């Protein structure tokens, strides 16, 4: 979406109404203006754990309006000193493995330990096709009724980078609102795991029984990222298959190098439906946090992640500037044609555009 400077100015301006609006729109405009919260109100509400205000702040994070983005940044900066005090857990697995059922079970377990849980999602499919793998179906019904749970679906966005950034900012707000457990769910089918990996402390991969095929179906890098591999659906007539899968994954993990965290990945079975193995997984997560805090890896990783996002944001910002530049847009079309027709070499063509952008 693009916003002209003119529109932008209007939305930033004082309470005067644009002259050519119809009365209904005018009413709406005034109502909206009245309701708009200040940065201070947002921060105060978030710190109090007010879920309505937290939700509205996240909507602001997800907005593409430049004026909202400026406000978002101020809210996040002010919340930053109150954030970070949580355990951030990434949960991934192919569609149908049981992610929502599992998160529902784990979430309830964690709430019973008197912790507050926020569940966020990164769904790359929703940003590309508008359809969502994580599902428009009503998910985590019971968990969503808990007052100590906060569930937010994946933000829509044009790019994975954009969606990931919004999720990362949402994590910070949830933490400032007192959610000391944050689950970030993603579909185990592609690059979104890398994005999630760079915003969580701990990564859990859910698997289905029937390991042989599965091990090949899931990208190797994803298995390597995991701190826990849990073979779900270990119940009924799938119990034996699940146990076999556990054995196979354990064998496969032996071949992998020691993790940088210094803590070996664990493989176990669970049943989200029968709620078995869930408490054990939570214990392992806490144990991993304890050990990695002790050996400092936990803090090192968080620092590295902050730097990663700094550079991501610089990269994305520069790209945005570049591609929005009118001169570049026109010339890029011509150059793309030339490259496709084999008249230009991609590298020299890119150099020409970059030099043009830099006014060289
Ligand atoms: P998601 O797509 O990964 O979020 O998976 P869902 O949570 O929607 O679950 C997909 C299907 O697997 C549903 O029909 C669930 O009822 C079922 N399912 C989830 N967990 C279990 C489990 O532990 N055991 C069994 N037998 N079925 C499960």
Q: Ligand 1 centre and the CA of 233: distance in Å?
A: 7
Q: Ligand 1 centre and the CA of 279: distance in Å?
A: 18
pLDDT digits (tens, 9 = 90+) for 180-199: 999 999 876 566 777 788 89
The answer to whether the CB of 178 falls within 8 A of the CB of 146 is: no
The domains of the chain are located at 31-82, 83-294, 307-358
Residue 334's pLDDT band, with cuts at 50, 70 and 90, is very high
Q: For the domain covering 31-82, report its CATH number.
A: 1.20.5.170
Query: Which has the closest alpha carbon to 318: 352, 357, 281?
Result: 357
Query: Which has the closest alpha carbon to 142: 201, 101, 85, 98?
Result: 101
pLDDT digits (tens, 9 = 90+) for 22-59: 656 655 555 555 568 899 999 999 999 999 999 999 99
Superfamily classification of domain 83-294: P-loop containing nucleotide triphosphate hydrolases (3.40.50.300)
Give the per-residue pLDDT at 40. 94
Which residue has the CA at smallest separation from atom 12 of ligand 1? 98
Which residue has the CA at smallest separation from atom 25 of ligand 1? 233
Query: Which has the closest alpha carbon to 17: 8, 9, 26?
Result: 26
Mean pLDDT of 62-80: 92
Mean pLDDT of 98-122: 93
Residue 102 in this model has a pLDDT that exceeds 90: yes
Residues in the chain: 360
The answer to whether the CB of 208 falls within 8 A of the CB of 94 is: yes
DSSP state of 212: H
Residue 257's pLDDT band, with cuts at 50, 70 and 90, is confident
Token pair belonging to 295: 């050996």
Pocket of ligand 1 from Cβ distances under 6 Å: 93, 95-101, 232-233, 235-236, 271-273
Residue 7's pLDDT band, with cuts at 50, 70 and 90, is very low
Residue 81 CA: distances (Å) to CA of 38, 43, 145, 179: 19, 11, 29, 14
Specify the residue for token string 């990269």: 315
pLDDT digits (tens, 9 = 90+) for 264-304: 999 999 999 999 999 999 999 999 999 999 999 999 999 99
Give the per-residue pLDDT at 328. 94
Give the per-residue pLDDT at 24. 61
Q: Ligand 1 centre and the CA of 101: distance in Å?
A: 6
Q: Greater confidence, 111 or 219?
A: 111
């Amino acid at each position: 979406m693009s916003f002209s400077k003119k529109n932008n100015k209007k939305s930033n301006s004082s309470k005067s109404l644009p002259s050519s609006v119809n009365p209904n729109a005018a009413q709406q405009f005034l109502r909206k203006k009245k309701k708009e919260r200040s940065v201070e109100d947002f921060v105060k509400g978030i710190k109090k754990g007010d879920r309505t205000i937290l939700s509205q702040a996240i909507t602001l994070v997800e907005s593409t309006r430049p004026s909202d983005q400026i406000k978002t940044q101020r809210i996040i900066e002010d919340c930053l000193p109150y954030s970070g005090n949580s355990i951030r857990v990434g949960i991934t697995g192919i569609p149908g493995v049981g992610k929502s059922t599992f998160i529902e079970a784990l979430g309830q377990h964690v709430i019973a330990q008197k912790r507050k849980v926020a569940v966020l999602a990164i769904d790359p499919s929703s940003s590309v096709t508008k359809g969502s793998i994580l599902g428009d179906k009503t998910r985590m019904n019971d968990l969503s009724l808990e007052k100590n749970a906060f569930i937010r679906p994946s933000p829509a966005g044009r790019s994975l980078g954009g969606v990931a950034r919004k999720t990362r900012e949402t994590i910070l707000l949830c933490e400032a609102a007192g959610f000391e457990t944050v689950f970030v769910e993603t579909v185990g089918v592609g690059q979104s795991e890398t994005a999630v990996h760079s915003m969580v402390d701990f990564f859990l991969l859910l698997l289905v029984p029937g390991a042989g095929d599965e091990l090949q179906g899931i990208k190797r890098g994803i298995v390597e990222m995991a701190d826990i591999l849990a073979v779900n659906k270990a119940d009924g007539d799938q119990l034996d298959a699940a146990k076999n899968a556990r054995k196979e994954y354990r064998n496969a993990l032996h071949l992998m190098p020691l993790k940088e965290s210094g803590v070996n990945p664990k493989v176990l079975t669970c049943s989200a439906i029968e709620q078995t193995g869930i408490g054990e997984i939570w214990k392992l997560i806490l144990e991993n946090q304890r050990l990695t805090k002790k050996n400092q890896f936990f803090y090192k990783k968080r620092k590295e992640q902050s730097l990663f996002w700094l550079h991501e944001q610089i990269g994305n910002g520069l790209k945005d500037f570049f591609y929005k530049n009118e001169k570049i847009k026109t010339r890029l079309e011509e150059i793309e044609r030339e490259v496709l027709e084999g008249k230009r070499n991609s590298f020299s063509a890119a150099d020409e555009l970059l030099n043009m952008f830099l006014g060289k």
